[in-house]
Amino acid sequence: MKSIYSKLIFGFFITIVASFSVAGYVSLKLNDEQIESTVEEDLITTNDYVIKVISNGNIENKDDIIDLYAKSSEMAITCYSLKDGYVAYGNKKYNPSPEEMTLFFEKKDENFSKKLRDEILSYGTKNNINGVDYYIYVQKDTSGQKSAIANSAILILGCVFLTGSIVFLVIADIIVKPLTRLTNALKELSNGNYDVRVDNVGQDEISKLNQGFNQMARQLAKQDETRQKFISDISHEFQTPLTSIQGFANILKEEDLPKEQRVKYANIILYNSKRLSSLAKNMLQLTLLDREEIELEISTYSLIEQMNRVISTQENQAMEKNIEIEFQVPKKDIVIDGDEQRLEQVWTNIVSNAIKYTNDGGLITISMKKTSKEVEVSIEDTGIGMSKEVVSHIFERFYREDKARNVEGNGLGLAIVKSIVDLHNGKIDILSQVDVGTVFIVKLPIEKQKFMNRLKL
């Protein structure tokens, strides 16, 4: 019994048999008791009727009247007296013998009733009618009534079983078919077909299961697309510096190469090797940040001191392009709880990007403020800016705007920034306008407990 369809049918069959057995037994038992109660009342009524007929002196054909009554009511009536002897009426099959009636007559008990068999009920009374002792014994076979009710019950249960089976098979088919389609879709998905979908019309549990499957399939398709794009991007990022290194390495093998050119080509090789090293380092860091078990080294420190340190490390780069970095220092020190080393990397990456994409003579403005719930850091530049389309992709790995391709970088810096901010349970917003400038706004929660809760997820 491997399929859910067979299990449903087996479960339905067992349930129907068990419930019908109990219901049938209880119903027949109650009907039997009701029939016997009704027949007992009929027996008493018949006994009284016979007594009235015998006691009425004006009736001449008493035997015919009692016999007709016995046959019409399907009863066996037997009378015994010392005057008239043994007389039987109605169905002679169940009448007791003269010897039995003699024994009944001789008993001291006036009334007597018993069930001869499961189907036959009897009632006997000893009466003095017009000065003569009579023993009247009445019997009735209830097997016909009980059999009719039992047959009706079987017919009803059979109709219910047949109708229920048809309805159940239809319902089971409605339940099993979507599951079968879902199973086939899962097989397709496991074989790499991420475009497979299942119908999810309705709001029942199976529809919600199908919705979950479709969502999973879309997510897997997106991840597969991201993986392929990642492989393509990383191949391109590695191939460019490797090609440059190989080309200039072959040139350096020439013995008559002037010293100036040799130094120039060696510097190019050194630059590309550093680029590869930076790329590998950033990829490793992103891999570590993506791992759920990453642990932040939370400490309490001054955000103003950290930002001054970041600015001092970027001043030479800014001076080369005559860019001014203006830090609007708050009046009061801002102390936060966070991973100092990783957050310093966030500010360094954003400020470094601002310098790269700001033209000579530009301005970078850094400000920060503290509210009751969070710390907000704003880094604004007067650079080339970005379109809405670029902003929507800016945190994707290896994503770089076409007009920014000639700027040094590998497209991983902002992906690292986003991962670190997410790990601190913060958020980062970007406001940008082409040829006007860009503002990066980083918001970090103040409570240390929020970081700790994030680490436990």
- Give tens-digit pLDDT for 267-317: 888 877 877 776 677 666 666 666 655 678 889 999 999 999 999 989 988
How far does the chain reach from its first CA to its final CA, in angstroms? 41
Asked if the 213-290 domain carries CATH number 3.30.450.40, the reply is: no
Tell me the one-letter amino acid at 115: K
Domain boundaries, the chain: 4-146, 213-290, 298-456
Task: Give me the pLDDT at residue 216, please.
Answer: 86
Confidence band of 406 (pLDDT split at 50, 70, 90) = very low
Backbone angles phi, psi at 322, to 5 degrees: 55, 40
Task: Give me the pLDDT at residue 265, please.
Answer: 81
Q: Of 28-32, 126-130, 228-232, 452-456, which gets the smallest average pLDDT?
A: 452-456
CATH class of the region 298-456 = alpha beta
Supply the CATH classification number for the domain 4-146. 3.30.450.20
Span 373-404, pLDDT tens digits: 899 999 999 999 988 888 888 887 766 665 44
Mean pLDDT score, 414-418: 86
Whether residue 449 is predicted with pLDDT greater than 50 in this model: the reply is no
* Global model pTM greater than 0.85: no
Dig out the tokens for 449 from the structure: 């407990």
412, 388 contact by CB (below 8 A): no
358, 383 contact by CB (below 8 A): yes
Mean pLDDT score, 134-145: 82
Span 342-372, pLDDT tens digits: 899 899 989 999 999 999 999 999 999 998 8
122: left (phi over 0), alpha (psi -120 to 50) or beta: beta
- 3-class state of residue 322 by DSSP: coil
- CB atoms under 10 Å from CB of 308, counted, come to 13
With a CB cutoff of 8 Å and minimum separation 6, the contacts of 429 are: 440, 441, 443
